[in-house]
Amino acid sequence: MKKVVFLTTSIIITQCVNAQTLKEAVVKTDNERFESAASDYRALIAKEPTKGDNYFYFGENYFRKGDLDSANLCYAKGAELNATYPLNYVGLGKILWYKGMQQEAETQLFKASTLGPKSAEVKRKTADIYINAEQKKLDEAINLLNQAIKIEPKNEESYLLMGDAMLEKNPTDGGPAIKNYNKATELNPASPKGDLRSGRLYQRGQNYQLALDLYKKAQATDPTYAPAYREKAELYYKAGQKANAVESYKKYLELNNSLDARERYASFLFSNKQYNEAIAELENLRKAGNTKFYLDRMLGYSYAEIGNTLDKEAFNKGLVSINTFFEKTGAIPNFKYVATDYKYKGILLAKTGKDSLGVVEMEKAIALDPTKSSDMIREIAKANMKAKKYFKAIETYERLMDGNPKNLTGADYFDLGRSYYFGPKDFVKADTCFSRLCQLSPTFATSYFWRAKANTQQDLKNEKWLAKPHYEAAMALVKPEERTTASNKANVIEACEYLGYNALTLKDNLKAKEYFTIIKDLDPNNKKQIDFFKSPAGK
């Protein structure tokens, strides 16, 4: 449920300011300056409290920013105070339509049509619903727009909507849509909307250069038209030009630097996976008093994505945010969670040491969206591995494999191999997993070290020296300067002890000395190399 804003007479009166014209307020809505527009609508209502269009366009302002409940209150109040004004019934019908209550919506829309049978705006606004809602009636929308054009042949809005309808009806043929967008621009050359619509169409078709040219043209037509900068930012991002994308969005914020605009900027950063920047914006919004639940959701997701590498408290912060999100939405009747809500809560629980609870949440994500089950099963397997529940990890990775070895990544085989190694101590299966990892990542030295470990366990008396070729392969991949790293040092010492002992059994003292010298350089206190150099073979 969206945040509700109550329209009581006392609030309206106390917020009365010098009212702008309705047309100027609508322009602000078109420019996505929703907060400033809202102030103007309140002032207009205070001045003319029974004028229906003030309420309708105030409702449209809320609708455009995604606050359906507040929009509905505006439409309802307008219909109550001016029962013969048709547009507020269109608004009420729109809310019902978007909530999936088409039959009830049609009752309101029919009422609007009987009150304004010759109103082109009623027809346009009704057509808008049929075009843009999930449940579409495109032929009816086109019919209504043709009627609107007959009533007002020079109103560009009808042609803009007609272009939208044509594109929705035949997404593979943009010609009819472009024709209508160009007609809108022809009727009102001072408006950037036609070029913006055309730009979106070309961007949708991945003709980025032409889309960019049209966005620039829209900006030239009206340098204060903020949506053109936002669209250009989105285009730059899709073209891989992140710096230009951010620059364009900052220009958008210069034109529209409100909390609403900063919310959109945070959402833009989040959608574009710029999680650090998104976190900074979202945290600032929280400090400014914004308590909307979807900000907590984005924060939780973002902290999970950046991980503790960049912020040692990221997972803890993320868990607090996602828990806050669930607390807030838990009070909303019939709130519909999505699979990623449970996914990220599960990941954050697992990353903060609550592995079992994390698995429960990730299983919820799988139940909610089985199409994304592989990602969740993998996360569950990681959580089991982290908790050293090796048998559970094996069971989960086998579930992920589902009979097809190609379903597992190299990282999966690494964890599955270690699960077999530490859990049931099935060193043959462990070796099979590490062998597969070597095939997938032939230059990953660690995979050969682990193959060697698994083979050592199958040949404890070194009767066949099964681990030798794998230790040799690993040592060939580790450069001398890389031997001291945390990930390599212990493995290199282990390998050299094994290979050095093998060389001694072959009476190759020079080779043995080579391996034990490596150990000596890495660990002067290592007993095996000390004993070797004290022995006749080491002198």
pLDDT at 15: 36
For residue 430, give both structure tokens: 């462990």
* Sequence letter at residue 57: Y
What are the backbone dihedrals phi and psi of residue 415, each rounded to the nearest 5 degrees, phi first? -70, -40
pLDDT at 271: 85
For residue 330, give both structure tokens: 């838990």
Rounded distance between C-alpha atoms, residue 214 and residue 358, angstroms: 48
Convert 169-205 to b/e letters by CB count within 10 Å (16 or more is b).
Answer: beeeebeebbebbbbbbebbeebbbbbbbbbbbbbee
Asked whether the beta carbons of 500 and 512 are under 8 A apart, the reply is yes
Exposed/middle/buried for residue 537 (C-beta within 10 Å: 0-12, 13-18, 19+):
middle
pLDDT at 13: 32
DSSP codes, 92-105:
HHHHHHHTT-HHHH
pLDDT at 196: 96
pTM of the model: 0.66
Written as tens digits, the pLDDT of the chain (539 aa) is 344 333 433 333 333 334 479 999 999 999 999 989 999 999 999 999 999 999 999 999 999 988 999 999 999 999 999 999 999 999 999 999 999 999 999 999 999 999 999 999 999 999 999 999 999 999 999 999 999 999 999 999 999 999 999 999 999 999 999 999 999 999 999 999 999 999 999 998 889 999 999 999 999 999 999 999 999 998 988 888 888 888 898 898 888 878 888 888 898 889 888 899 999 999 999 998 888 899 999 999 999 999 887 788 999 999 999 999 999 999 999 899 999 999 999 999 999 999 889 999 999 999 998 887 888 899 899 989 988 999 999 999 999 998 899 999 999 999 999 999 999 999 999 999 999 999 999 999 999 999 999 999 999 999 999 999 999 999 999 999 999 999 899 999 999 999 999 999 999 999 999 999 999 999 999 999 999 999 998 77
Residues in CB range of 10: below 8 A, 6 or more apart: none
Asked whether the beta carbons of 322 and 344 are under 8 A apart, the reply is yes
Asked whether the beta carbons of 446 and 471 are under 8 A apart, the reply is no
Residues in CB range of 274: below 8 A, 6 or more apart: 242
Residue boundaries of the structural domains of the chain: 491-538
Rounded distance between C-alpha atoms, residue 348 and residue 296, angstroms: 14
